[in-house]
Structure 1
Amino acid sequence: MAARPDITAWRPSVAGIEEVFHAHFTDHTYPMHTHDAWTLLIVDEGMVRYDLDRHEHGVLTDVVTLLPPHVPHNGGAATAAGFRKRVLYLDVAQVDEGLVGMAVDRPVLHDPALRRRIGRLHTALAGPGDELEAASRLALVAERLDRHLRSRPDSVRYVHDRRVAHRLRDLLDERFVEGITLQDAALRLHAHHAHLVRAFSREFGMAPHQYMTGRRVDLARRLLLRGMPASEVAGAVGFYDQSHLTRHFKRVVGTGPGHYARTRGASALSA
């Protein structure tokens, strides 16, 4: 009897990503099929072999695979141990459709930095509340994919634009509680979303989502010290829920919001 596959699939609320798909297969083999999206694949365990446009390819754990839309391919485990993979199905607008031929010729990308970025993107997509981070990471991934397909050298970079970086910071300062999508920010500032992320990161040493999270945590600290219950602070500062607040609060402050709030009472007693 075939083993039941371990599968998780969802559609995140991040523009440009049609589906996230995580799977562990031991004996499943995909027949020839197509997708209407770009398939961005990394393998965490094992090895996958597949045919694309009548040419055989293999996917190892240290590479990135990009399969173009509407081009037939199959796939299956290369060994009896099976494989574990993570896949993003990207909207066709994320990669220039004129580059489909290049992707058919070179679907396997040997780029450790790109693979790490894709892994971090999957992490950002794992739970609600980190949509800006995910959109920022997606923009940089899509830009690097485009560079690979056009055979542009890694030394190519956007021109450092301090003005747009400071305009984005002003916008985040205005909207950090209610939040803003990267696409909306790009429309407001008349700049490409990937350029926004790069310009901001160069100017301030952090990505836009990190800056916005820091502003939210900073406000949460003030509200907690004013006596607002931790259960109410998350919504007041823009986090998705209390667990979302706790995760980021611990990362920034070093302790959870509940413990942080209790230190206020201890200080008052000792005064």
Structure 2
Amino acid sequence: MIEVSRFWRDPALPFVEARRVGDGRKVCYAAHSHESFSIGVITGGRSTYLSGGNQGEVRAGTTVLMNPGVVHTCNPIAGQAWSYLMLFVDMPWLQTLGFALPVQTCSTSPALYSRLLQLFADLFDSQQEGREERLTSFFIELPSYLQAACEEPQNAHPRLDAAAAFIRAHRLDALTLQDICSASNLSRSYLIRAFRQRFGLTPHGYLLDQRVQHARAQLRSGRAIAEVALEAGFSDQAHLQRAFKQHLAATPGHYRDANLK
């Protein structure tokens, strides 16, 4: 039987992380985002899929793509089984390749699906040589599998964007809603309503998501959970545990101590 969930990391490829989920019914998420670029394949069953302003259903054979900072979630439909593989890639490494973030949030291309499955197989095989070269080739060629960008540009909301940027810059501080309002020159009522419409989370939810992302990065380096919890702005380890599990469907300990290969 395939494991319910396993993280994969390798010191030889520090810019990439993968996750295998064999039973998506036991790995459910609240709306959240990542600092990395995320791409994965649905390998069995079907689930809901929300990414930014796009919402629908994905099933086996579908590739999903999630840009950094975009709020998203995937969860089972009426308790039905589903499974998937996900790849999380650090943006600085991708930028060295000249990688441009895609507009497309999912694809049903059989060729892309097959290519990604092979890439996962290569990564998980610790004896496989040339894994970084295969990753490089995949991301250079990824645009050829996707549709050309045809969506209209999103309307600019400079004050809301400023509010989000302020939260990101001060995510480890004891922020209040008034701090965010003052920094963005917005009223409390407008900020709460409009922020959620634009980002899919309330300002508090966005701050919590940012703190979980910080904790994730620190735990990946093996730091003590209690120490990371306080640094990230959580009241204690239990508070971090609840938020981490809600956002990433894994405990901080399970994530930190995942097998490196």
Q: Structure 1 length normalisation: TM-score?
A: 0.47
Task: Decide which structure has greater helix share.
Answer: 1
**Higher alpha-carbon Rg:** 1
Q: Structure 2 length normalisation: TM-score?
A: 0.49
Q: Which has the higher contact order (CA 8 A, sep 6+)?
A: 2
